[in-house]
């Protein structure tokens, strides 16, 4: 074959890098040169075979230079076991389960009246919660760690599939997620996302990843799933980062500023000006309930009214002053002859947005009626939230007839809220009744301060 034959260049490319072990290579170019010099010893300098051999060495030099232009940007051997946060998250629930299982007296000491630890169902719950938490954590750990060991063995033993070539059919992941980034190299497809649990490469271009539509790559991959174990990019010009770095639970200030800059460049994903207003309204609703702001409490919706008999108030109540009871806080509203009651402590998170109005007789000596009321501002918050979601989805979802319309998507979300809210209101009502009974017992039997 003539020295300029492409097959010769390919053979020299492979011959020039003989694999010996983990990231260690020996250059066979010198061995080739020494062999040719021995062959040339009996020939003249202008002999055709000598000229062909010199051209052969030039091809070897160019092939080696081509190999040296590859930059390794990711290697599973360098990144280590990256999936550990996934099973570690389960340890939180294991800890909670141990507390519930081994220290029920601590929970009982909180004084939550509706937390019946003696109930058989509660006992079963303790066993099931802890058992499930341990089982889930164990499965998550062994599943991810065994996969990492397999990938490590493939990369160390050079048993992974290897493909080299230009990136084709590149589809980047949107900055908002909801899809995987994908491309192919010589017909072999690869898919990945920043939001999946894997020890392979998964840094998308929209989140600072190195792969572009015009990249020329060499990939070592696991044939079972085409997971990228080692990624090398030829003539890589970008900033070489730690693409194996695990993202934190909270973004850094630099990442926040970058996201703001990206959103500014792309007005399609800019949320409307009122996008955070529902959060502000919810906080104001919670604060007003917590502070027992009477003018606002009077607008709450009445869920249930119950007549009370023999509910004498044994302790004197100071007007216009909040008083802390075991599980609730009360406020004596003399103008309306009403004792306003809200949960306190852990109960406040179990029964949020809900208060009770205890109607007192004209003498202020006994409770004659109790009302359970629910926040009037919460429906406004939810309507504003759904409207914001509709505006955001209608501005970002592509016009694809195969995808659900934003109206249908938000409508289903609203229906889900209504159904879940119906059951939650029943729980809130039941818990508030127990809090009211607990407060009435304390007001009727506790000595005056």
pLDDT tens digits, 54-99: 776 666 555 554 555 888 889 999 888 888 888 888 898 888 888 7
Distance CA 152, CA 222 (A): 10
Q: Is 332 helix (H, G, I), strand (E, B) or coil?
A: strand
pLDDT of residue 348: 85
CA 408 to the chain's CA centroid: 25
Query: Against a cut of 0.75, is the pTM above it?
Result: no
Q: What is the pLDDT of residues 253-296, one digit of tens each?
A: 555 455 545 444 444 445 566 677 888 888 999 899 999 999 99
- Residue range 399-418: mean pLDDT, rounded: 66
Segment holding 371, helix H or strand E: strand 367-374
Sorted by sequence, the CB contacts under 8 Å of residue 105 that are 6+ apart come out as none
Sorted by sequence, the CB contacts under 8 Å of residue 315 that are 6+ apart come out as 443, 446, 447, 448, 449
> Contact, 124 vs 116, CB < 8 A?
no
Please enumerate, as own/partner, the contacts of 132-140 that have beta carbons within 8 Å and a separation of 24 or more: 133/90, 133/93, 133/94, 133/96, 133/97, 134/94, 134/97, 136/90, 136/93, 137/87, 137/90, 137/91, 137/93, 137/94, 140/86, 140/87, 140/90
Distance CA 297, CA 290 (A): 10
* CA-closest candidate to residue 296, choices 346, 331, 345: 331
Residue-averaged pLDDT of the chain = 77
Q: What is the pLDDT of residues 346-393, one digit of tens each?
A: 888 888 889 999 999 888 788 999 999 999 999 998 888 888 877 776
The answer to whether residue 9 scores a pLDDT higher than 60 is no
The side-by-side arrangement of strands in the sheet containing 181-185 is 168-171, 181-185, 188-192
Per DSSP, 268 falls in state: G
- Residue range 300-310: mean pLDDT, rounded: 89
Lowest mean pLDDT among 191-195, 256-260, 397-401: 397-401
pLDDT of residue 340: 94
Tell me the backbone φ, ψ of residue 312, rounded to 5 degrees: -70, 145
Choose between 415 and 399: higher pLDDT: 415
Sorted by sequence, the CB contacts under 8 Å of residue 56 that are 6+ apart come out as 3, 8, 12, 32, 36
> Contact, 368 vs 440, CB < 8 A?
no
Domain ranges of the chain: 6-68, 69-258, 271-449
Of the chain, the percentage scoring pLDDT greater than 90 comes to 24
> Contact, 289 vs 375, CB < 8 A?
yes
Distance CA 432, CA 112 (A): 11
- Residue range 219-230: mean pLDDT, rounded: 91
Output the six-digit token pair for 86: 């996934």
Output the six-digit token pair for 350: 């179990």
Q: In the beta sheet, which residues pair with residue 324?
A: 329
pLDDT of residue 343: 93
Please enumerate, as own/partner, the contacts of 164-167 that have beta carbons within 8 Å and a separation of 24 or more: 164/217, 164/218, 164/219, 165/216, 165/217, 166/214, 166/215, 166/216, 166/217, 167/211, 167/212, 167/213, 167/214, 167/215, 167/216, 167/217
Tell me the residue length of the chain: 449
Write the DSSP assignment of 45-71 as a string of letters.
Answer: TT-HHHHHHHHHHHHHHHHHHHHHTEE
Cβ-in-10-Å burial (0-12, 13-18, 19+) of 432 comes to buried
Output the six-digit token pair for 405: 């319309």
Q: What is the pLDDT of residues 16-26, one digit of tens each?
A: 444 333 333 34
Q: Are strands 367-374 and 301-307 parallel, antiparallel or unpaired?
A: antiparallel
């Amino acid at each position: 074959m003539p020295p300029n034959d492409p097959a010769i260049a390919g053979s020299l490319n492979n011959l020039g890098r003989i694999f010996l072990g983990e990231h260690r290579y020996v250059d066979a170019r010198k061995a080739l040169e020494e062999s040719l010099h021995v062959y040339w010893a009996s020939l003249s300098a202008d002999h055709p075979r000598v000229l062909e051999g010199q051209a052969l060495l030039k091809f070897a030099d160019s092939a080696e230079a081509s190999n040296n232009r590859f930059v390794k940007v990711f290697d599973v051997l360098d990144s280590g076991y990256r999936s550990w946060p996934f099973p570690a998250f389960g340890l939180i629930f294991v800890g909670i389960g141990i507390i519930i299982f081994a220290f029920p007296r601590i929970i009982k000491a909180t004084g939550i009246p509706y937390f019946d630890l003696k109930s058989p169902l509660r006992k079963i719950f303790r066993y099931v919660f802890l058992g499930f938490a341990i089982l889930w954590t164990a499965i998550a750990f062994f599943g991810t760690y065994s996969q990492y060991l397999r990938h490590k063995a493939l990369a160390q033993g050079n048993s992974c599939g290897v493909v080299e070539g230009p990136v084709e059919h590149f589809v980047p992941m949107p900055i908002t997620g909801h899809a995987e980034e994908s491309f192919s190299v010589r017909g072999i497809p690869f898919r990945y996302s920043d939001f999946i649990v894997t020890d392979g490469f998964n840094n998308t271009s929209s989140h600072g990843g190195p792969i572009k539509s015009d990249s020329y790559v060499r990939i070592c991959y696991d044939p079972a799933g085409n997971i990228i174990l080692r990624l090398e990019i030829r003539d890589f010009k970008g900033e070489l980062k730690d693409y194996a770095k695990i993202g934190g639970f909270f973004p850094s200030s630099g990442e926040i500023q970058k996201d703001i800059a990206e959103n500014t460049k792309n007005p399609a994903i800019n949320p409307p000006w009122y996008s955070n207003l529902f959060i502000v309204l919810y906080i104001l609703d919670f604060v007003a309930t917590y502070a027992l702001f009477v003018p606002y409490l009077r607008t709450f919706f009445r869920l249930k009214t119950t007549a009370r008999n023999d509910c004498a108030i044994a302790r004197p109540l100071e007007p216009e002053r909040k008083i802390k009871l075991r599980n609730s806080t009360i406020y004596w509203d003399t103008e309306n002859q009403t004792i306003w009651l809200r949960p306190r402590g852990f109960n406040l998170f179990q029964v949020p947005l809900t208060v009770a109005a205890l109607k007192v007789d004209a003498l202020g000596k006994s409770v004659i009626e109790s009302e359970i009321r629910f926040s009037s501002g919460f429906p406004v918050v939810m309507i504003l939230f759904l409207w914001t979601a509709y505006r955001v989805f209608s501005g970002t979802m592509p016009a694809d007839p195969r995808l659900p319309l934003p109206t249908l998507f938000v409508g289903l979300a609203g229906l889900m809220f209504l159904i879940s809210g119906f059951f939650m209101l029943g729980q809130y009502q039941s818990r508030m009744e127990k809090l009211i009974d607990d407060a009435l017992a304390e007001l009727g039997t506790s000595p005056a301060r």
